[in-house]
């Protein structure tokens, strides 16, 4: 079981990677919007680039997991798919309502980090619980 100290350090590392990923997303999204790209496409491209960086940052730096791509990779893709679907739906709805693109991208930027923390901490990168064979008993036959 993870100690309180370890959880605090892990949360701090998650925050560092999250801030870097969010900054990368925001810089790309606002930069692409500035070039005249439609807000939804600016969001989509910024999301794709920042998510690749986020996966490696969280896996290696935050959760200090080496290898295990066969388990973590698909979980990250599923979790991210859920997060991006909700976030993209929010962007699509806000843009469709005619809200200021800066408000839309700001809301999108603020939505992702806390949602990502919860799903990746408690599912994607959760440490497996070891099976305690010594305490297991064989079923009666």
68: left (phi over 0), alpha (psi -120 to 50) or beta: left
Q: For residues 95 and 64, what is the distance between their CA atoms, to the nearest angstrom?
A: 38
Tokens of 95: 């843009």
**Predicted confidence (pLDDT) per residue in 98-127, tens digit:** 999 999 999 998 998 889 888 998 899 887
**Predicted confidence (pLDDT) per residue in 5-47, tens digit:** 998 999 899 999 989 998 999 999 999 999 999 999 999 999 8
- How would you class 5 by CB atoms within 10 Å of its CB: exposed for 0-12, middle for 13-18, buried for 19 or more? exposed
Per-residue DSSP letters for 50-93? Answer: HHHHHHHIIIIIIS---S-HHHHHHHHHHHHHHHHHHHHHHHHH
**Predicted confidence (pLDDT) per residue in 52-109, tens digit:** 898 999 999 998 888 888 888 899 989 989 998 999 999 999 999 999 999 999 999 8
Task: Delimit the domains of the chain by residue range.
Answer: 4-127
Q: For residues 24 and 17, what is the distance between their CA atoms, to the nearest angstrom?
A: 10
Sorted by sequence, the CB contacts under 8 Å of residue 13 that are 6+ apart come out as: 61, 62
Q: Is the pTM of this model over 0.75?
A: no
């Amino acid at each position: 079981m993870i100690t309180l100290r370890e959880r605090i350090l892990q949360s701090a590392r998650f925050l560092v990677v999250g801030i870097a990923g969010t900054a990368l997303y925001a810089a790309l999204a606002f930069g692409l919007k500035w070039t005249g790209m439609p807000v939804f496409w600016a969001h989509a491209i910024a999301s794709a680039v920042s998510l690749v960086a986020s996966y490696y940052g969280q896996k290696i730096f935050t959760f200090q997991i080496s290898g295990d791509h066969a388990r973590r990779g698909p979980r990250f893709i599923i979790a991210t798919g859920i997060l991006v679907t909700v976030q993209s739906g929010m962007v699509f709805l806000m843009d469709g309502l005619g809200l200021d693109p800066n408000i839309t991208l700001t809301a999108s930027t603020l939505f992702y980090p806390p949602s990502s923390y919860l799903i990746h901490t408690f599912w994607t990168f959760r440490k497996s619980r070891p099976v305690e064979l010594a305490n297991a008993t064989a079923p009666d036959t």
